[in-house]
Amino acid sequence: KIRKKLFADFEYEEVLDTKTRELIRVGCAVAGGAHLTEETFALAKEAGAGSAELKEAMAYGVIAPAGRAKNFALELLEELEKQ
């Protein structure tokens, strides 16, 4: 098993298979608004990810920030109603 250090106080052991890790990377890139390069998809495809899996990973990348935006909008509406 490979141990990785992300920050000085955050260390983890790689337990996910490569395909899962690359699909998460695709989803994170979408969520963060990063440009998905050909390399990002190529790595996921090389790890065995198919089109349907890539689409699902991208969908989760869209869903995550959409939830944050919805919650923020609801908080703003709540503040407006108090006024």
How many Cβ atoms are within 10 Å of 44's Cβ, its own excluded?
Answer: 24
What pLDDT score was predicted for residue 46?
97
| Residues contacting 7, CB < 8 A, separation 6+ | none
Q: CA-CA distance, 26 to 40, in Å (whole number)? A: 7
Q: Tens digit of pLDDT for each residue in 1-15?
A: 778 777 778 888 889
Cα 74–chain centre separation? 23
Instruction: Please tell me the distance from the alpha carbon of residue 44 to that of residue 38, in angstroms, as a whole number.
Output: 10
Q: Terminus-to-terminus CA distance in the chain, angstroms?
A: 56
| Residues 52-76, mean pLDDT to the nearest whole number | 90
